[in-house]
A and B are shown apart, each in its own frame.
Chain A
Amino acid sequence: MDPSDQKALCQAAIDAALSAGARYAEARFVTRERENIQVRNGSAQLSNHQRDVGIGIRTLVGNGWGYAGTNILDKDAIVRASRNATQTAQATEGAAGIEVLIPQAVQSEYRTPLQIDPFALSQGEKLAPFTEAHERMEKLGGIKVNRGNFVAHRQETSFLASNGSDQYQQITLCGGGVSAIAQANGDVQIRSIPKGMEGNFLQGGFEHIVAMNLGDCAEQAAQEALALTQAERTPEGKKTIILDGCQLSLQIHESVGHPTELDRVLGEEISLAGSSFLLPDSRDELRYGSDLVNLTADSTTPYGPGTFGFDDEGTPASRTPIVEHGQLVGFLSGRDTAQKVGCRASSALRAESWAALPIVRMVNVNLEPGTGSMDDLIGGVDDGYLLAANKSWSIDDLRLNFQFSCEIAYEIKNGRRTGKIFKNPIYYGVTPQFWGSCSAIAGPEAWKMWGWLFCGKGDPAQLMYVGHGCAPSRFDGIRVGSS
């Protein structure tokens, strides 16, 4: 369907909502394409291409929002959906607690800058780096299973609203990674590079896969997976730890991103994953971390999966400080939640697709760089570990007590890596104390963007892609152990 037809359907939806009694309405026509190839020991175990097309209509009746979505794209079905949205709005009218403001109209367009369009490549071209990775692992020998994961994602949104807003954006993400599974002595160990789980995903094209150099990643993964099957369990104790960027990005995600979502702070997200230790009046009052810690919600960061032209209520991308010099100064928010606590919206109302109503989500929540290199961080450790690649993650419903396990711990003694590794490392903490123990953050040269594809939130659950830029960082006096 061409953009003018999409806009015509959006306009029909808006007109129907206004006729049914809405005082404001937005329509999003969303086309989402995702390709996933999973390779196991050199052969494709899964080749899956999804195309999801539909329209979502959000309507305001009094101060209550309603929502409906459909992929039956004829005018009658869309008018019916619009009326349903307007009816459902009546159910939420009592919950607003504010006079919902109608935003200023915006006209805008955004497209991801990309060098190699992943959707224009053949399967063979997409698989070539994974084939090389497989071959290099095979050559090393000893690995039971090697895996590769490729994902390309494109989301195209036409957004129209009854205030005259007319916006368009096309976002493209691409990424993946490789992992090696080794088995010996009754033990099974995995190493994933560049990142645990699905790999790393960035905004842009296939150039990100090329830049990963998956062949080298595969060799390192295989060697370390094999070595881990011979390694000892990580000893218990309070240690200085350095989190590599791939693990630190998830630490930021769970212990900064989620607790600073304003809907959680206001108790509106209880039914799935809980609330937050933060309260609305924690802003400018609560000490979140050490003076070194500066965190920013930024939907404009280059390559960030959470970068866009506008969020899913049409608010243009922005940059919002969350923590400055260790002090909590802001939240992730949409227009309504921001209005409720009297702050500026951080353009963070996002929806998985047309079939989901927009809720407060992370964009790119970044840890601003400090100074120095990884070697400088290591030089400051008497007795500790460098931890890399997430294996498990868990945090309580107020986002305080967390426990992460990683794939590997590299021992550090007297300011140097000893060459010894430990398996199954786990570290524990409580959010503000943990960030308060941050004693060093590496500089801009070590700062890198990490993408996560499957951030689950909402009820029904929505899965969103978000980004966390960070440089490896050091934390003192952290409880470490093993399963």
Chain B
Amino acid sequence: MESGFSQAWVGERLQWVLDNCSAGVDGLEASFLGSEASYMRLAESAIIQASDITRGRVSIRAVIGRQSARASTTDLSLPGLKDCVKRAVQNARQTPAGEDDIALPAPIAVAPVRQALDLTTQALDSVTKQAWLEPALAAHRADDLALAGRFHTGTATWAVHSTTGVQVYHQGSWADVAMSALERPAGHHASSCRTYFDSKIGRDQLNLLAEEVRGECHSAHGPKEVAPGKWDVVLSPLAVADLVEWLGMIAFNSQPYDDGTSFLHGRLGEKVTGDAISIVDDASVPHGIGVPLPFDVEGMPKSRVDLVTRGVAQGIVHNSRTGKRYGCRTTGHAQVSDDFPVSGSQACHLHIEPGEGNQEQMIQSVKRGLYVTRLHYVNGMIEPRRAVMTGLLRDAAFLIEDGQLKHAVAPMRFTDSILEAFDRIPGSAGVSKQTRAHCSFFGPLQCTVTPSLLIPKLNFTSGR
């Protein structure tokens, strides 16, 4: 299915806004976010939900001196767009001026990103997806397992025009898949989960995920309780992803930095965690996995930003406004979520840089510990200055004894400072060379890329 949001179709609308509605303002920015998605959801080894959603949204930012406001609309008719601009301008005029210089940024050349659009993935519809899923569903039915998960695909279109001359357009495909195999009743016994996130997917990758979870679910049969306490853990890339996404929210975005709640605040140039950990935000997805994005909602190129290098705090991400506030240039991290509007910049493509280790060797190096495939309901708001987080084991987690996986263990809760936990990682051998990409909870325009980690003495505070 070809996208309805072509460059010409989108460009016409954004340019019409600038040509017809920019009188009386110092700057007008019009951005477009289009989503054409085919969603499919699985449970009990059947397809339980399927939907096709087409949504295009224009977002307007009006700037008058040091006053600004934003308005967005999915009414893409010309009167609808005009109303949207009127609202943005009217709200900007009535909003008290701030201290920041909020002039819209001048254009900067945007480099194209790698293989962003896969036509096969873009064209996947419910009929093809059903056919691709059938062998996996049948295999799980035959094993009396409940296969659950999602198989979402789509095309994202992203464009920005502004009165300063910014004019950029990008279109990319994405595939966000999760497969969980569960003994019945689902959720009460053994289970296993794998995820996949990239700009393309084929039938083989889907089958591979399904086979991995089916096998691991059988291995996880009969989880046994182990006592809470300090455990050496090997975290899979999926388990690490939740921790990293929270680090972004509590530390690398500008708002927690401004408020002083970020653990980076007042500590730039200082050691905040272990040498083994380097964290960057890089929307070019340099390891070739994940979904790239070339520019932000201001149309500024997304730069690679070093946030933590070998344990030392380096900085945060910036949009044009926060960049000026801190005396630097935008790093291309202006982001407006219509669902969670936040002021300031947002880290959206966090990577933990790969190390020298591999997951198997990490497991072999553990005398007595846990191999954790996934965490559940991580929350990083407990004490953000120390990055204290809590969360639970979910799906297959295994006891390791003398470097061997023994048996599955029942869910437990950890509560620990993640900075202190990362500080205990035994060098680059405790960070795997191999990484995986994960779609964000906030949608396919954001992702994390993470390795496996070996963390000694993670603090588990309670059992189920």
How big is chain B's contact interface, by range? Answer: 35 or more
Determine the distance from Cα of A71 to Cα of B338 in the docked complex, in whole angstroms: 16
Interface 1/0s, chain A 403-419, versus B by CB < 8 A?
A: 10100000000000000
Which residues between 121 and 137 of chain A lie within 8 Å of chain B, taking CB atoms?
A: 122-124, 127
Query: Is B94 engaged at the interface, CB distance under 8 Å to the other chain?
Result: yes
Which residues between 215 and 274 of chain A lie within 8 Å of chain B, taking CB atoms?
A: 267-271, 273-274
Of all chain A residues, which has the CB nearest B376? Answer: A397
Determine the distance from Cα of A243 to Cα of B152 in the docked complex, in whole angstroms: 40
Determine the distance from Cα of A356 to Cα of B388 in the docked complex, in whole angstroms: 34
Interface 1/0s, chain A 137-156, versus B by CB < 8 A?
A: 00000001101000000000
Query: Is B73 engaged at the interface, CB distance under 8 Å to the other chain?
Result: yes
Query: Which chain B residues lie closer than 8 Å to A67 at the CB level?
Result: 49-52
Cβ of A48 and Cβ of B180 under 8 Å apart? no
**In the complex, which of the residues B56, B338, B376 contacts A396, with contact meaning CB atoms closer than 8 Å?**
B376
Determine the distance from Cα of A461 to Cα of B87 in the docked complex, in whole angstroms: 28
**In the complex, which of the residues B127, B148, B336 contacts A48, with contact meaning CB atoms closer than 8 Å?**
B336
Query: Is A382 engaged at the interface, CB distance under 8 Å to the other chain?
Result: no
Query: Is A401 engaged at the interface, CB distance under 8 Å to the other chain?
Result: yes
Interface 1/0s, chain B 366-377, versus A by CB < 8 A?
A: 000000000011
Choose the segment among B184-192, B196-204, B274-282 that binds chain A (4+ C-beta atoms closer than 8 Å): B184-192
Nearest Cβ on chain B to A401's Cβ, whole angstroms: 5
**In the complex, which of the residues B75, B127, B343, B390 contacts A51, with contact meaning CB atoms closer than 8 Å?**
B75
Query: Which chain B residues lie closer than 8 Å to A397 at the CB level?
Result: 187, 376-377, 392, 394, 411
Cβ of A49 and Cβ of B47 under 8 Å apart? no
Interface 1/0s, chain A 162-206, versus B by CB < 8 A?
A: 000000000000000000010100011010000000000000000
Cβ of A270 and Cβ of B148 under 8 Å apart? yes
Cβ of B259 and Cβ of A144 under 8 Å apart? yes
Nearest Cβ on chain B to A322's Cβ, whole angstroms: 20
**In the complex, which of the residues B55, B91, B188, B382 contacts A392, with contact meaning CB atoms closer than 8 Å?**
B382
Cβ of A188 and Cβ of B385 under 8 Å apart? yes
Query: Which chain A residues lie closer than 8 Å to B96 at the CB level?
Result: 42-44, 127
Cβ of B75 and Cβ of A274 under 8 Å apart? no
Query: Which chain A residues lie closer than 8 Å to B187 at the CB level?
Result: 267, 270, 274-276, 397-398
A-B pair number, CB within 8 angstroms? 278
Cβ of B382 and Cβ of A43 under 8 Å apart? no
Cβ of A392 and Cβ of B379 under 8 Å apart? yes
Determine the distance from Cα of A68 to Cα of B84 in the docked complex, in whole angstroms: 25
Interface 1/0s, chain B 67-98, versus A by CB < 8 A?
A: 01111111111001001100110011011111
Determine the distance from Cα of A195 to Cα of B340 in the docked complex, in whole angstroms: 18
Interface 1/0s, chain B 126-144, versus A by CB < 8 A?
A: 1101100000000000000
Query: Which chain B residues lie closer than 8 Å to A46 at the CB level?
Result: 70, 341-343
Nearest Cβ on chain B to A124's Cβ, whole angstroms: 6
**In the complex, which of the residues A52, A87, A459 contacts B41, with contact meaning CB atoms closer than 8 Å?**
A459
Query: Which chain B residues lie closer than 8 Å to A187 at the CB level?
Result: 385
Choose the segment among B115-123, B429-437, B456-464 that binds chain A (4+ C-beta atoms closer than 8 Å): B456-464
How big is chain A's contact interface, by range? Answer: 35 or more
Nearest Cβ on chain B to A236's Cβ, whole angstroms: 11
**In the complex, which of the residues B69, B149, B379, B464 contacts A47, with contact meaning CB atoms closer than 8 Å?**
B69
Query: Which chain B residues lie closer than 8 Å to A50 at the CB level?
Result: 71-73, 338
Nearest Cβ on chain A to B173's Cβ, whole angstroms: 16
Please indicate which of the listed interface residues B150, B382, B391 has the most CB atoms of chain A within 10 Å of its own CB: B382
Choose the segment among A20-28, A91-99, A292-300 that binds chain B (4+ C-beta atoms closer than 8 Å): A91-99
Q: Which residues of A contact B (CB under 8 A)?
A: 36-38, 40, 42-54, 65-73, 77, 81, 84-85, 87-92, 94-95, 122-124, 127, 144-145, 147, 181, 183, 187-188, 190, 267-271, 273-277, 279, 355-357, 359, 391-398, 400-401, 403, 405, 424, 426, 428, 430, 454, 456, 459-461, 463, 483
Interface pairs (25), CB distance under 8 Å: A43-B98, A48-B341, A52-B338, A68-B51, A68-B52, A70-B53, A85-B52, A87-B126, A87-B127, A91-B130, A95-B44, A95-B48, A122-B94, A124-B94, A144-B260, A188-B260, A267-B186, A271-B180, A275-B186, A277-B188, A397-B377, A398-B188, A401-B413, A428-B461, A483-B388
